[in-house]
Amino acid sequence: MALIRALLATQRSLSAASRYTAMNGVIYLAAGALLMACPGATQAVFRERAFVGDEQGLIRVVGMTVAVIGWLYLFGGRSGARQIVAASVVDRLVLVPAVLVPLAAAGVFPHLLVTFAVLDPALALGAWILFGRNTVSE
């Protein structure tokens, strides 16, 4: 029960950046859940080519990864720790585009990966702006 209490605990006051990071976590959880439950969404939503071989399973792995990142952002944001906000900005501005853009350019699910390569840094910029404001709500 201590584990559940820890997960459900919230800080009395959270900065706008922490609330924003938690909200980003919900978005990532939803996107990951969609890809895990319905990998064919890559064709329906992103107009990607039909799967060949085991690509459907790989999309499910991508979905699981995105969902785990969302889980960590949700609870990292709810913790109120400024470090999670800062860390999320750095990895989303540097790592995500550095990996996803070359893969998309090579033809690996280009619409899906470019979407994440643009959306993720855009959300990171929002977190960075809010991080700089350093405001806490009561």
- Quick one: tokens of 5? 């209490």
Six token digits for residue 34: 């969609």
- The domains of the chain are located at 14-132
Question: What does pLDDT average to over the chain?
Answer: 92
Number of other residues whose CB lies within 10 A of the CB of residue 37: 11
Per-residue model confidence as pLDDT tens digits over 44-71: 999 999 999 899 999 999 999 999 999 9
The structure's pTM equals: 0.88
Q: How many alpha carbons lie under 13 Å from residue 12 in its C-beta half-sphere?
A: 1
Question: Please, what's the largest Cα pairwise distance for the chain?
Answer: 53
SS3 13: coil
| Residues 128/24, Cβ–Cβ less than 8 Å | no
- pLDDT of 9-22, one tens digit each? 877 889 999 999 99
The token pair at 23 is: 């909200």
27-42: average pLDDT: 96
